[in-house]
Amino acid sequence: MKNKLQLILAVILLAGCATSTSVWYNPSVTQQQSQTDWNQCEYEASRGAYTPMGAFDSPISSGIQEGFQKVSLMRKCMTSKGYYLTGQETINRSALAPAKYQTLSTYDLDEVSWFNQQGYGAIIGNAFIRKQDGGIVSCAGQSVQLIPRSSYADERMGYLYKSTEYGFNGVESYRDIDQSDPKYAENFSQTVCDVDGRFKFESLPSGSYYIVSTVFWGDPIQGGAHLMKRVSIGNDETKEITISK
């Protein structure tokens, strides 16, 4: 009976996240991909280990506690995939915005063939945004991408960040773009910032890369941006960088 009550309460709490006025949103992915990511995170959250924070004789009390832990795991998973919570009205307004930018160039695998070679370089860094009130929000728990430079990447970065050197694309004036070529996503690396807001990419061949870090905050989202910086490394070189706004 206790296990059944725990399960019911956990399901109610998870369902509450899915049906509230705030929804998980990532403008860079399709609706189908959003559903896939949601299902994956829900599955991972349901498999997460339950750690009791005290002795509870009541199955209702422990069930609520377990439900909140699952919601926390769900939030961490979705955030790491670049999603943030926002209102449905905000999404509806974005649907009325000008059409997405359509990439003109085509993705050429030959341009990034060097990326698949064995290398010994590394890029280590941190990413953060300083808020207007002086507070600092890091990329802790959020995604960071390493994208090998190409003509295709240059065009997309140039539009999204108004530069191919450094820039940001934020909530206040988000610049949207069409869905990328599937091969584009298959040929870059991704990691998650640690609790200190630091990231690392290792075993890299020499070349030029784009680093794109996600830094968002709030529930529903209050602010934040995607931050971009271009970095070049040589053979056996380790470069440490900071990306900030």
Q: Please state, in angstroms and rounded to a whole number, the distance separating the CA atoms of residues 107 and 220.
A: 35
Q: Is residue 211 in some structural domain?
A: yes
Length of the chain equals 245
Dihedrals phi, psi of 231, to nearest 5 degrees: -135, 135
Q: Please state, in angstroms and rounded to a whole number, the distance separating the CA atoms of residues 50 and 70.
A: 8
Same structural domain, 131 and 86: no
Q: What is the pTM of this model?
A: 0.65
Same structural domain, 55 and 148: no
181 three-class SS: coil
Q: Is residue 155 in some structural domain?
A: yes
Q: Please state, in angstroms and rounded to a whole number, the distance separating the CA atoms of residues 233 and 221.
A: 35
Same structural domain, 126 and 229: yes
Q: Please state, in angstroms and rounded to a whole number, the distance separating the CA atoms of residues 48 and 76.
A: 12
Number of domains in the chain: 2
Q: Is residue 118 in some structural domain?
A: yes
Provide the pairing of β-strand 121-130 with 136-138: antiparallel
Of the residues 60, 95, 130, the one at which a domain ends: 95
pLDDT attached to residue 145:
97
Q: Is residue 101 in some structural domain?
A: no
pLDDT attached to residue 18:
42
Which segments in the chain show pLDDT lower than 50? 1-20, 56
b/e map of 32-41 (b: 16 or more CB within 10 Å)?
eebeebbeeb
Q: Is residue 100 in some structural domain?
A: no
CATH number of the domain encompassing residue 184: 2.60.40.10
Q: Are 210 and 229 in contact (CB under 8 A)?
A: yes
Q: What is the DSSP letter of 106?
A: -
Same structural domain, 127 and 60: no
pLDDT attached to residue 97:
55
Any idea which residue has 């997309």 for tokens?
Answer: 156
Q: Please state, in angstroms and rounded to a whole number, the distance separating the CA atoms of residues 139 and 47.
A: 25
Any idea which residue has 């992915």 for tokens?
Answer: 29
Q: Are 210 and 93 in contact (CB under 8 A)?
A: no
Q: Is residue 152 in some structural domain?
A: yes
Q: Degrees (nearest 5) of the Cα angle 13, 18, 19?
A: 95
Same structural domain, 56 and 162: no
The boundaries of the domain holding residue 76 are: 2-95
pLDDT attached to residue 37:
85
Contacts of 137 (CB under 8 A, 6+ apart): 128, 129, 131, 215, 217, 224
Any idea which residue has 């600092």 for tokens?
Answer: 136
pLDDT attached to residue 137:
96
pLDDT attached to residue 12:
38
Q: What is the number of other CB atoms lying within 10 angstroms of the CB of residue 136? A: 11
H or E stretch covering 202: strand 198-204
Same structural domain, 35 and 131: no
